[in-house]
Chain A
Amino acid sequence: MKNMIRDLREQFNLTQLDLAEKVEVSRQTIISLENGKYNPSIFLAYKISRVFNLPIEEVFIFEEEDIR
């Protein structure tokens, strides 16, 4: 699953640590999310989307391959 976290974070002038603290995870988790290594739970996805005031589907992009 692709995501727009890095772009949005930069738009909002947030560091990885700032975002990590806002959504109560480690900076390593934000790094993994940005690199597409780790897919978040629906709760974390919701928290992240709320930081950027966007719906989940605009932050996390589902692809057909993710469903299969």
Chain B
Amino acid sequence: MRKDEYLKREIIYSAIFILIGIIALIGFIIGFKKPMMFGIAIGFIPTGVGMLLIYQKAKKHKEFSRNLKLEIEERNIYINSKAGHLAFWVSYWYIVIASVFSNIINVSMQRFTIYTLIFMPVVYFLFVAIYHRKY
């Protein structure tokens, strides 16, 4: 992937993050599920703004640009793809096992989704670390 395409894609992702955050903020202001909307807004807006600033800066600064090139170099892409693939299947089997044992394990849907949201990135970054050692 070329650097310009990558930058463009990341800037679009940042804008989507900010948009979701703004929608949640509006939800909070009008009083719709206030605690949840507040949490989403607090999470998405700073992340989106931070990403946007970094990638805008990367367009102009040589050092940032160099780091970006290394970020999208082929070995990193290879490792991230391989880790993503394996993390997907581990998460899939985690959900299958959770559904099979749903009668025995007494966990609310809300808690289960929170656990899943924590579990998935942990598994992904664990595989990224393992593959960085392997390759």
With contacts A28-B75, A29-B75, A44-B74 known, is A37 near B134, CB below 8 A?
yes
Chain B 36-77 interface mask (CB, 8 Å, partner A; 1/0): 000000000000000000000000000000000110011110
Residue B135 at the A interface, CB < 8 A?
A: yes
Residue A62 at the B interface, CB < 8 A?
A: no
Check A32–B75 contact: CB distance below 8 A. yes
Could you tell me the dominant secondary structure of chain B's interface residues? Answer: helix
Check A29–B134 contact: CB distance below 8 A. no
Q: Which residue of A lies closest to B70 (CB)?
A: A26
Residue A25 at the B interface, CB < 8 A?
A: yes
Check A37–B135 contact: CB distance below 8 A. yes
Q: Which residues of A contact B76 (CB under 8 A)?
A: 26
Check B75–A24 contact: CB distance below 8 A. no
Chain A 22-43 interface mask (CB, 8 Å, partner B; 1/0): 0011101100100001101101
| Interface residue count on the B side (C-beta < 8 Å) | 10
Check A25–B135 contact: CB distance below 8 A. no
Q: Give the interface size class of chain A.
A: 10 to 19
Q: How far is the CA of A4 from the CA of B6 in the complex (A)?
A: 32
Q: Which residue of B lies closest to A43 (CB)?
A: B74
Check A26–B135 contact: CB distance below 8 A. no
**In the A-B complex, the 5 residue pairs with the closest CB atoms:** A29-B75, A38-B135, A25-B73, A26-B70, A41-B74
Q: Please report A residues at the B interface, Cβ cutoff 8 Å.
A: 24-26, 28-29, 32, 37-38, 40-41, 43-44
Q: Please report B residues at the A interface, Cβ cutoff 8 Å.
A: 69-70, 73-76, 78, 132, 134-135
Known: A24-B73, A25-B70. 5 other contacts (CB 8 A): A25-B75, A26-B73, A26-B75, A26-B76, A40-B74
22 contacts between A and B (CB under 8 A): A24-B69, A24-B73, A25-B70, A25-B73, A26-B70, A26-B73, A26-B75, A26-B76, A28-B75, A28-B132, A29-B74, A32-B75, A32-B135, A37-B134, A37-B135, A38-B75, A38-B78, A38-B135, A40-B74, A41-B74, A43-B74, A44-B74
